[in-house]
Amino acid sequence: MSRLSFDSVDVLIYDPVPSNRTATRAALYALGFRRTETVSTLEAFVESVQKNPPDITLVEAQGAGEELCDTIQRMRQGGASYNPFIVIIVTAWEKSTALINRVVSSGADDLILRPFSTAQLGARIESHIERRKSFVITTDYVGPDRRKDFSRGAGAELFDPPNSLKMKAKDKLSSDAIARKLDSELKTAREKLTSEKLRRDSFQVCILWRLIQEQPITAGQIPPDLAKLQALTKSIEGRSRDTEFQPAVEWCRSVLAAAEGLSLALDRNASMHLLGHGALSLHQVFHPEKNAADQLSEIDATVTIIRARHQAEALAS
């Protein structure tokens, strides 16, 4: 590892246990890291990432693994105010299928079990400098592509995320050169994240519209598919503002108005008609190359697959 230099790399350690933080910091110091910050709460971790994004972070899952992994995926989903592509290594004391699945679904780069040696940690860090996995973007997931192990949806385009850890540790660029390179790569990656999320989320809104057509809805009760449709539409509306996709904002409002009508058990036929028109029009904003027939064909083919899977799961249970 002599060819790597870590003295300018910014590291953030999140761990609620003081002895763990000390051990992790000592191992990093032995590897040559000199710019290390530690925090003891998840709230402090999120605040630090947003205010001063590190190049790499080590986060402890023990005791709050589900909350931590949800936080990591929200970070990966991205915002313009911070770097959603930092290298993230999750640490834990015990290995379980549930934990592995949560970490994989979170978009973290790696999971390492305690107690780990300095050499083991160094090898893992080096792998994310030399051989970091490409990222994939789907409706529910942004992070390293692991489709050899877990399906992430057909047709998802891969891209190499900005890696400031590599810029500092291997490329050894000057501070000014790193700032310029990182800013440029972040701009490109954020644009890709935004456009791909909008394309996929708008398609998912159409899928949910089709699924909701068969679901009875009682006033005051919001079924999961309707709740997900509302959340996705609000996300699309927020991402579309002040972009080339500004026309999507009005269609998002139409979809949300129709969803509210359904949740209040108003005129179902009118609400479903408004929902379908709004969903398809929203999808068209992000897929102008597709005509109405192609849209419906692709949507219905996907819905057929989903329904068949649900039926199989119901029979199996």
Q: Which CATH number fits the domain that encloses residue 164? A: 3.40.50.2300
Predicted pLDDT at 63: 78
Q: CA-to-CA distance for 108 and 117, rounded, in angstroms?
A: 21
Please check whether residue 188 lies inside any domain of the structure: no
Say yes or no: 162 and 22 in one domain. Answer: yes
Please check whether residue 239 lies inside any domain of the structure: yes
Domain count across the chain: 2
Say yes or no: 38 and 111 in one domain. Answer: yes
- Does 152 have pLDDT greater than 70? no
Say yes or no: 155 and 202 in one domain. Answer: no
Report the share of the chain in percent with pLDDT over 70.
95
Say yes or no: 91 and 24 in one domain. Answer: yes
Please check whether residue 186 lies inside any domain of the structure: no
Predicted pLDDT at 2: 52
Say yes or no: 111 and 260 in one domain. Answer: no
- DSSP-based three-state secondary structure for 5: coil
Both tokens of residue 101?
Answer: 């699945």
Stretch (H or E) spanning 122: helix 118-130
Report the share of the chain in percent with pLDDT over 90.
78
Q: What is the mean pLDDT of residues 17-36?
A: 97
Say yes or no: 163 and 206 in one domain. Answer: no
Q: What is the DSSP letter of 214?
A: T
Please check whether residue 177 lies inside any domain of the structure: no
Say yes or no: 158 and 216 in one domain. Answer: no
Q: CA-to-CA distance for 33 and 89, rounded, in angstroms?
A: 15
- Does 1 have pLDDT greater than 60? no
Please check whether residue 180 lies inside any domain of the structure: no
Q: What is the mean pLDDT of residues 221-250?
A: 93
Domain boundary, last residue among 172, 187, 210:
172
pLDDT digits (tens, 9 = 90+) for 32-53: 999 999 999 999 999 999 999 9
Predicted pLDDT at 80: 56
- Does 23 have pLDDT greater than 60? yes
Q: CA-to-CA distance for 18 and 40, rounded, in angstroms?
A: 8
**pTM of structure:** 0.87
pLDDT digits (tens, 9 = 90+) for 116-136: 999 999 999 999 999 999 999
Q: Which of 116-120, 152-156, 215-219, 272-276 is predicted with the least confidence, judged by mean pLDDT?
A: 152-156
Please check whether residue 143 lies inside any domain of the structure: yes
Please check whether residue 130 lies inside any domain of the structure: yes
Q: How far is CA 183 from the centre of its chain?
A: 20
Say yes or no: 43 and 168 in one domain. Answer: yes
Measured from the Cβ of residue 138, the count of other Cβ atoms closer than 10 Å reads: 17
Residue range of the domain that includes 249: 196-316
- Does 253 have pLDDT greater than 70? yes
Say yes or no: 131 and 265 in one domain. Answer: no
Predicted pLDDT at 313: 84
Q: Which of 158-162, 206-210, 293-297, 307-311 is predicted with the least confidence, judged by mean pLDDT?
A: 307-311
Say yes or no: 159 and 304 in one domain. Answer: no
Q: CA-to-CA distance for 184 and 255, rounded, in angstroms?
A: 35
Please check whether residue 234 lies inside any domain of the structure: yes
Q: Residue 73 in contact with residue 37, Cβ under 8 Å?
A: no
The average confidence (pLDDT) of the chain is 91
Say yes or no: 144 and 218 in one domain. Answer: no
pLDDT digits (tens, 9 = 90+) for 68-99: 999 999 999 986 568 999 999 999 998 889 99
- Does 282 have pLDDT greater than 50? yes
Q: What is the DSSP letter of 138?
A: -
Say yes or no: 42 and 149 in one domain. Answer: yes
pLDDT-based confidence at residue 314 (cuts at 50, 70, 90): confident
Domain boundary, last residue among 157, 172, 187:
172
